[in-house]
A and B are shown apart, each in its own frame.
Chain A
Amino acid sequence: MPILNKAIVFKQENCGDGLQKALNMKPIDILFAVRESGLKGRGGAGFPAGSKWMLASAAQSDKKYVICNADEGEPGTFKDRLLLTEFTEQVFNGMTICGYAIGAHHGFVYLRGEYSYMIDEMQATLQQLHNSGRLGKNILGSGFDFDIEIRLGSGAYVCGEESALIESLEGNRGEPRNRPPYPANTGYMGFPTVVNNVETLATVPILINKGVDWFTSIGTEKSRGTKLISVSGDVDRPGVYEIPYGTTIMEIIEMAGARDVKAVQVGGASGICIPEAELHRNISFEDVPTGGSIIVFNNSRDMLKILENFMEFFTEESCGQCTPCRIGNKKLLDGVFMIERGECSVQYLRELISLGETMQVASKCGLGQSSPNSFITIMKHFGDEILSKY
């Protein structure tokens, strides 16, 4: 499964020996390099990786952990699957470099249960790394020890949220914790823990190998580097595309062969709906940030049916721990059914939108906070069309 356009960062020839280079550096210099590169988290929230690593590095503790978040559950996202199969070694090396930089000796990959068919090949790569002295004791003669363990999820979208993921690793129900404290401080078993997305970690060895200047020359001022985008829906060539930050949505979907476009959902079910008139907007932390899912809808699609699909997803995947999310998503889904039956007044629709806005601020974790996004944006852009149809 290759990247479908011309790759920029994720090319085998860029990989070189980032791990060896990193181990020749002092941990503090790696922390500075990652910070100066401007690398931000690729999993959705976009927290600067360098700052997160520095927090974990500064935390005083005899044990620390690195977790690679491979839960990839956001509808329409499959770019981590590509990295885990085509750039497996870089993902693991990124974890090792992080461990070296923050002083951790153990890493976990939390792989979604749906990807369990990939685990044998990943284990084989781990074994190879051990055999060639790139994992385990005294890695490449540096005196640094690091081990990686793969753990499987069991079919719960919310476990991609980092504190729920940690709960799950600890053997609990995957229910998000209150934050702060953040994992960098109080993570797995209470120890300082860096949780990073697969793509963030896989970028690190390449960034170290090619240098900070090379990396910062790609992308925009506040969004350095590239983003892997999973494109699906009404396109001729669905798949993973690598784009420099700042690329417009139009450019991306044209690469994928979209025609007769009505709207594009950016960021999956928890993302936002962009109508055809706004396709000039670009993917970046300045404009439209995303974990990497783009779903294209053509003019034959009924936006209410799409919204129904999203709201069903959230009512099922909510962990039910807090009221705004548990009850709110159910109300929004019921609202969609009412519209379908022609029973929803404009007055009630307004109330639902304001309920959505309450959920955005009052929910305990990102799931509940982002779940009303599609309801709000689809109603904003297609409310009239929907209400006149039903």
Chain B
Amino acid sequence: MLVSEINTLTEEISSLVEKYGAGRQSLLPILQEIQIRYGHISDVAQQEIARLLDIHPVEVYGVTTFYSFLNTTKRAKYNIRLCKTISCDLTNKDGIARALERELGIKFGEISSDEKYSLAYVSCLGMCDQGPAMLINNQVYSKLTPRKVVEILDQIKGR
């Protein structure tokens, strides 16, 4: 990272610490905001958060790696997460999985070479009455069909 980038990051974390308070209980909301802005929580970010909250960096790492929605390595611009739990499974999530892989040319667990898309599975999203369901970043899509998946991806590709 460039020094200027680190400075911006530090400023950003400082303002989050100001917003949520300098206590340990602010850790998760701060990590969540950094995750949204940068798509991941880098080593530098972890160190800066630890310094400003006055806790050990290992603690920050331990918390970050515990939660499946937080990651320490860079992710794609669009993280596509398909629910693989039972009700979506019964409504043919496998068909949706194949459609996603075909359209994006990547497999589950992979990131596209332009770092635009990643494909992963996720546990029940609470949309079981409208399965199959998936998240793209924080947005939920339900009642998926292979055709609908293509339409959704087309919309994103246009952006």
Residues of A at the B interface (CB closer than 8 Å) are 72-78, 80-81, 112-117, 151-157, 168-175, 189, 230-234, 238-240, 265, 269, 293, 295, 297, 301, 306, 309-310, 312-313, 316-317, 319
B45-86 CB contacts (< 8 Å) to partner A = 62-63, 66-70, 84-86
Q: Could you say which residues of chain B place their CB within 8 Å of the CB of A309?
A: 84-86, 89
For B, the interface residue count at a CB cutoff of 8 angstroms equals 36
Tell me whether B69 and A113 are in contact (CB under 8 A): yes
Q: Could you say which residues of chain B place their CB within 8 Å of the CB of A81?
A: 126
Tell me whether B32 and A152 are in contact (CB under 8 A): yes
Partner of A75, one of B31, B63, B85: B85
B79-133 CB contacts (< 8 Å) to partner A = 84-87, 89-90, 122-131
Q: Could you say which residues of chain B place their CB within 8 Å of the CB of A171?
A: 23-28, 63
A sample of 14 inter-chain contacts (CB < 8 A) reads A74-B124, A76-B85, A112-B126, A151-B28, A154-B31, A155-B68, A156-B67, A169-B25, A171-B24, A238-B87, A238-B129, A238-B130, A295-B87, A313-B86
Give the shortest distance, in Å, between A303 (CB) and chain B (any CB): 12
* Cα distance A262–B48 in the bound complex, in angstroms: 55
Tell me whether B67 and A313 are in contact (CB under 8 A): no
Give the shortest distance, in Å, between A338 (CB) and chain B (any CB): 21
**Chain A binding site: helix, strand, loop or mixed by DSSP?**
mixed
Chain A's closest residue to B122 (CB) is: A155
Chain B's closest residue to A114 (CB) is: B125
* Cα distance A295–B67 in the bound complex, in angstroms: 27
Chain A's closest residue to B70 (CB) is: A154
* Cα distance A170–B68 in the bound complex, in angstroms: 18
Residues of B at the A interface (CB closer than 8 Å) are 23-29, 31-32, 62-63, 66-70, 84-87, 89-90, 122-131, 135, 138-140
Tell me whether A75 and B29 are in contact (CB under 8 A): no
Q: Given A171-B25, A174-B66, A232-B129, A154 and B90 touching (CB < 8 A)?
A: no
Tell me whether A152 and B29 are in contact (CB under 8 A): yes
Q: Could you say which residues of chain A place their CB within 8 Å of the CB of B68?
A: 154-156
Q: Could you say which residues of chain A place their CB within 8 Å of the CB of B70?
A: 154
Partner of B28, one of A73, A154, A233, A295: A154
Q: Could you say which residues of chain B place their CB within 8 Å of the CB of A317?
A: 123
* Cα distance A72–B123 in the bound complex, in angstroms: 12
Give the shortest distance, in Å, between B121 (CB) and chain A (any CB): 9
Chain B's closest residue to A312 (CB) is: B84
Q: Could you say which residues of chain B place their CB within 8 Å of the CB of A295?
A: 86-87, 90, 128
* Cα distance A233–B128 in the bound complex, in angstroms: 8
Q: Could you say which residues of chain A place their CB within 8 Å of the CB of B24?
A: 170-172
Tell me whether B63 and A172 are in contact (CB under 8 A): yes
